[in-house]
Chains A and B, each alone.
Chain A
């Protein structure tokens, strides 16, 4: 299947700093990528839909000025957590849709563990 990578796999930062997370589709092009957040023992929560060459679409309750998304190419989307605070500590997962055997399938990255001190 298609491969999605994320970098970094984990990051620790001080409160008030900004953190950038990269999501790449390695062997396919993705005009659309998705960003999720997952807290311990909970399910994945969709944060936003990232569209190549246009603005991201954010889910209700997700601050677009805090979670900046840039989808500058067909293989790269970035999520920047600005002025991070301890409550932003979470597991961030990106995914991308690929056409496989004539059907769309969604592939997920390995996730990025963010810890804000």
Chain B
């Protein structure tokens, strides 16, 4: 599985847009990029997944450049409740039995 690199932590004020970038230089052709959010004492929660270009859902956008060696999770107008750890994962999940291997994640702190 491709190794990922993210900032250890980020701070933001409420109402701002937050962009978390993840580097995955060794991403393979069949790999997808998936982001998870984890609150303390809870299991990770799926946020968004993409393969290339841009993906948007009701909570976030995911920007992936043409070379796919990095990706950026964009959270619009964050609130205090967005304080969490965000994990970027890369892997070929066309099969059902390849596990997700987590990196260190980015600890986002949103302050009033």
Please state if A44 and B42 are interface contacts (CB–CB under 8 Å). Answer: no
Q: Is there contact, CB below 8 Å, between B49 and A1?
A: no
B95 near A104: Cβ-Cβ < 8 Å:
yes
A46–B87 Cα distance when bound, in Å, is 14
Question: Are A97 and B32 touching (Cβ within 8 A)?
Answer: no
| Cβ–Cβ < 8 Å partners of A49 in chain B | 97, 99
Quick one: closest A residue to B89, CB to CB?
Answer: A106
Stretch touching chain B among A14-22, A75-83, A109-117: A109-117
Determine the distance from Cα of A73 to Cα of B101 in the docked complex, in whole angstroms: 25
Q: Are A31 and B97 in contact (CB under 8 A)?
A: yes
- For chain A, give the interface size range: 20 to 34
Whether A31 touches B43, Cβ cut-off 8 Å, given contacts A43-B87, A44-B102, A46-B101, is no
B99 lies within 8 A of A46 (CB): yes
CB <8 Å contact, A110 and B42: yes
Consensus secondary structure, chain B interface? loop
A64 to chain B, nearest CB (A): 16
Q: Min CB distance, A44 to chain B, in Å?
A: 4
CB proximity of B92 to chain A, nearest CB, Å: 9
Q: Is the CB–CB distance between B101 and A97 below 8 Å? A: no
Question: How far does the Cβ of A20 sit from chain B's closest Cβ, in whole Å?
Answer: 18
Verify A97–B102 contact, CB threshold 8 A: no
B residues adjacent to A (C-beta < 8 A): 32, 34, 36, 41-46, 49, 87, 93-97, 99-105
Q: Which residues of A pack against B, CB within 8 Å?
A: 1, 4, 6, 31-32, 34, 36, 43-46, 49, 51, 91, 93, 95, 97, 99, 103-111, 113
Question: Other than the known A44-B102, A95-B44, A113-B41, what 5 A-B pairs have Cβ atoms closer than 8 Å?
Answer: A31-B96, A104-B96, A105-B34, A105-B49, A108-B36
